[in-house]
């Protein structure tokens, strides 16, 4: 992440936030449910810049729980632009992105930021990095599709996401049980449509 002078990236869930309070976090992107109380742990962090976004982690509109929108992804990209604009004022930085569990919204947000900052970077390498950072990553497909279009990736980011799903499903059948319970079978189907050989391309 050299272009924005961020030398360390972290993805986590709310329960893990206390473990990072002494890790020199300089920038935080919090993605929370609209009705969830703001975590108080950030008062124990060193001085930092923080942006809070609120939207649900679903892929289909449900009663009282709409899927992420273009406006939500625009807010993530605006955060990325602010991060880039401020890089001359610091030598380095530590960006922490979190959601409820550090699985879906936060990983999709981090992928969006990485694709924004490095427009020429291969999409599959972005997902490889995400798996290394957060082995339980299962990015929200709606967020990725919107980011794909807004960043002019012409479907490549979405295709790489489907390959990521296939890899995750091959690694651990927990993902299929988990996403079925969360009514996100469509994402499982995206991954199942690919053979392991195609997923590893």
Check if the beta carbon of residue 114 is closer than 8 Å to that of residue 147.
no
How far apart (Å, rounded) are the C-alpha atoms in residues 196 and 97?
A: 29
- Report pLDDT digits (tens) over 176-196: 999 999 999 999 999 999 855
pLDDT for position 87 = 61
- Report pLDDT digits (tens) over 13-53: 999 999 999 999 999 999 999 999 999 999 999 999 999 99
pLDDT for position 199 = 58
Band of pLDDT at residue 6, cut at 50, 70 and 90: confident
Terminal CA-to-CA distance of the chain, rounded, Å? 24
How far apart (Å, rounded) are the C-alpha atoms in residues 155 and 145?
A: 8
How far apart (Å, rounded) are the C-alpha atoms in residues 183 and 185?
A: 6
Q: Does the reported pTM lie above 0.75?
A: yes
Question: CA distances (Å), 18 to each of 92, 156, 190, 191, in order?
Answer: 22, 36, 35, 34
Extents of the domains making up the chain = 8-154
- Report pLDDT digits (tens) over 96-124: 999 999 999 999 999 999 999 999 999 99
The full DSSP string for 126-161 is HHHHHHHH-TT----HHHHHHHHHHTT-TTHHHHHH
Q: What are phi and psi of 162, to 5 degrees?
A: -65, -40
pLDDT for position 73 = 98
Q: How many residues does the chain have?
A: 201
Helix (DSSP H) and strand (DSSP E) numbers for the chain: 8, 4
Exposure pattern of 73-93 as b/e (b: 16+ CB <10 Å)? Answer: bebbbebbeebbeebeeeeeb
| Topology of the domain covering 8-154 | 3.90.190
CA atoms within 13 A on the CB side of 48: 26
């Amino acid at each position: 992440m050299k272009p924005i002078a961020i030398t360390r990236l972290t993805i986590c869930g709310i329960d893990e936030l206390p473990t990072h309070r002494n890790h020199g976090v300089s920038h935080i992107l919090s993605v929370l449910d609209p009705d969830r109380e703001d975590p108080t742990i950030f008062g124990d962090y060193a001085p930092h810049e923080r942006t809070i976004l609120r939207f649900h982690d679903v892929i289909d509109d449900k009663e009282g729980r709409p899927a992420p929108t273009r406006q939500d992804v625009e807010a993530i990209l605006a955060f990325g632009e602010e991060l880039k604009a401020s890089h001359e004022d610091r030598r380095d930085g530590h960006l922490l992105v979190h959601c409820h569990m550090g699985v879906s919204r936060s990983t999709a947000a981090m992928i969006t930021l990485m694709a924004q900052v490095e427009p020429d970077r291969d999409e599959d390498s972005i997902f490889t990095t995400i798996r290394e950072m957060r082995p339980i990553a299962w990015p929200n497909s709606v967020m990725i599709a919107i980011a794909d279009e807004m960043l002019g990736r012409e479907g490549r980011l979405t295709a790489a996401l489907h390959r990521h799903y296939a890899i995750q499903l091959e690694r651990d059948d927990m993902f299929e049980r988990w996403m079925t319970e969360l009514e996100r079978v469509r994402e499982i189907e995206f991954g199942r449509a690919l053979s392991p050989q195609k997923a590893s391309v």
